[in-house]
Amino acid sequence: MKLYHKIFKNRSNLSIYLENPEPLKDYDEKLLNHLTHAGDIDELHQAKIDTLRNFSDIYNFDVTDAEFPEPRGHFDNAEEKRAFVEKRILLHDIVMYLGNIYKWYHEIIYNKQSRLPEIRLKNMAIDYTEIYQKAVGDYKNAIVNGMPHAVTASFMLPSLIERGLTLALQNRMLYKCICGLPEINYLNEEGLIDEEEEKYIDIFLHNTERFCFDAREDHVMGKMYTLFVRQGVLEESAENEMVLTGVGHRNRSGRKVTRTLGSLLKSDFAKSEILPEYMELMDNIFVKLNIRNSIMHGLGESFDYLNIGLVSIMFQLLWDIGSCEIFKD
């Protein structure tokens, strides 16, 4: 049963539990079977999208239909109390559906292949591949031994997701704009490109893994941003400058826009590139549940933000970023 009337109750320690989880467990198994029985990459991708869509339907139903105990504590007004309840329902739904499904799915993958997906993230001073290996090792240990937490992975995954999304969006903007430029010979003949810009374009088109630029990212990408705007292949905006260079200098309030996970997700470019199902997932995790800041800053939230289900969701998201499955094309 996809949609049913859920009854949440308080334990003696004021934690929340679902009194009638049986239909939920059956539906989780159905969604898991869609993932495990996918015949090829396209079917698997569609199964992932269907899983996210089904979760969205379930949460939107539960937030208006589920029974939830009267929250205890001080609330300034009814809207604040209602927001608290909706957040708690979102947390329970996202862990019990997506968290459980992805965790079981990863256990199946690991039991069959004795490994989980590997990724490599470009690094300068920070070796993000090493960070990933530490995180996935902690996660393997947790799922093999049935542990409720993978603490190391919980702390590392938000940074890995931010780094992966930053690189993916930056590269997509960069190469889409390069493809939109006129021929380099034409730009040269008309005096529309300088020597440094031409050098960087050539490097991007014929790059090798061992190549290192002779300037910082903000200078190289700043040159590209100026060229793209000048040639009309990219709109001049603080958001676009932020995605490409790391900092946007001219937003509507006159302030700088620094590239963070939050600013990336709010950008028009991200919204135009990322599938709405994945945008909603990241909004749920990093905005509504505020998982990243809760983990990084030790916020006194009233829920377990180190739950293994949240780790499973973040790993699947990271892998889908790496394989470009979160994007529309």
Instruction: Look at residue 211 and tell me whether its pLDDT is greater than 70.
Output: no
Structure-token pair, residue 49: 């999208």
Torsion region of 166: left, alpha or beta (phi above 0 gives left; psi -120 to 50 gives alpha) = alpha
Q: Are 31 and 48 in contact (CB under 8 A)?
A: no
Please report the pLDDT score of residue 68 as a whole number.
96
Q: Is the dihedral of CA 79, 80, 81, 82 positive or negative?
A: positive
How far apart CA 11 and CA 72 sit, in angstroms, is 13
Q: Is the dihedral of CA 85, 87, 93, 95 positive or negative?
A: negative
Instruction: Look at residue 251 and tell me whether its pLDDT is greater than 60.
Output: no
Residue 154's pLDDT band, with cuts at 50, 70 and 90, is very high
Identify the weakest region by mean pLDDT among 137-146, 182-191, 264-273, 288-297: 288-297
What pTM was estimated for this model as a whole?
Answer: 0.93
Instruction: Look at residue 300 and tell me whether its pLDDT is greater than 80.
Output: no
Q: What is the mean pLDDT of the chain?
A: 92
Please report the pLDDT score of residue 42 as a whole number.
96
60-89 confidence digits (pLDDT tens): 999 999 999 998 888 999 999 999 999 999
How far apart CA 163 and CA 182 sit, in angstroms, is 31
Please report the pLDDT score of residue 17 as a whole number.
93
